[in-house]
C-alpha cells in the first residue's frame, strides 16, 4: 500500500556520493526538524526525467526554498555513481540532492514501485513528489499516468 498524507517516512537507507565515495543517507533522519521536498523518477538520463522533471527542480530551487523547503531531494532506482553523474550533467549541485535507491528498497517501502520490465528497465519507481515535514508526509503527488504534471516543480510550488 502506498504511503499517504500523515504517514511517517520509512527509515530505509539511500546512497549519495560524498567526496567521491558512496555514503548512506536516511531520508527519515535528513527530514528531522526540516521541510524536505522529494521527487522520484523512473530513471536517470531517461527523456522526461532529464529534459523536464529534474531540470524543473534545478531551475525552481530558489523559489521552492523561498517557500520554506530546507532540502530538495531526487530519488531514482539507480546506483549512486549514475545519480552523481546525472546530477553533475544536470547542474544539480547545491540545488538538488541526488539519492540512489539502488535496490529499490525505499521505493517498495513507500509502495510506489513500477514494473518497467516491458521497456527493459526492470523494477523502478513511479514518478511522484512529496513534501515531508519533520519526517511526516505533508503532501504526496503521484503521477496518475505517463507524463509530468502532478509531480512537477510547479505543482510542488503550488502545494508549499
**Under 8 Å CB-to-CB from 91, ≥6 apart: which residues?**
58
- Residue 49 a catalytic site member: yes
CA separation for the pair 57, 80 (Å, rounded): 19
CA-closest candidate to residue 2, choices 116, 125, 102: 125
In the set 3, 9, 25, 49, the catalytic residue is 49
Q: Rounded to whole angstroms, what are the CA distances from 38 to 21, 25, 33, 41, 71?
A: 22, 14, 15, 10, 8
Residues with a known catalytic role: 49
Amino acid at each position: 500500500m502506498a504511503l499517504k498524507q500523515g504517514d511517517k517516512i520509512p527509515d530505509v537507507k539511500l546512497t549519495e556520493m560524498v567526496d567521491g565515495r558512496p555514503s548512506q543517507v536516511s531520508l527519515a533522519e535528513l527530514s528531522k526538524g526540516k521541510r524536505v521536498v522529494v521527487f522520484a523518477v523512473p530513471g536517470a538520463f531517461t527523456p522526461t526525467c532529464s529534459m523536464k522533471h529534474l531540470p524543473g527542480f534545478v531551475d525552481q530551487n530558489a523559489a521552492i526554498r523561498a517557500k520554506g523547503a530546507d532540502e530538495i531531494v531526487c530519488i531514482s532506482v539507480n546506483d549512486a555513481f549514475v545519480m552523481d553523474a546525472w546530477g553533475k550533467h544536470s547542474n544539480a549541485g547545491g540545488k538538488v540532492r541526488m539519492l540512489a535507491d539502488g535496490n529499490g528498497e525505499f521505493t517498495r517501502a513507500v509502495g510506489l514501485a513500477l514494473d518497467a520490465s516491458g521497456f527493459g528497465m526492470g523494477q523502478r519507481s513511479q514518478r511522484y513528489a512529496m513534501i515531508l515535514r519533520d519526517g511526516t508526509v505533508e503532501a504526496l503527488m503521484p503521477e496518475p499516468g505517463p507524463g509530468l504534471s502532478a509531480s512537477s516543480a510547479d505543482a510542488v510550488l503550488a502545494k508549499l
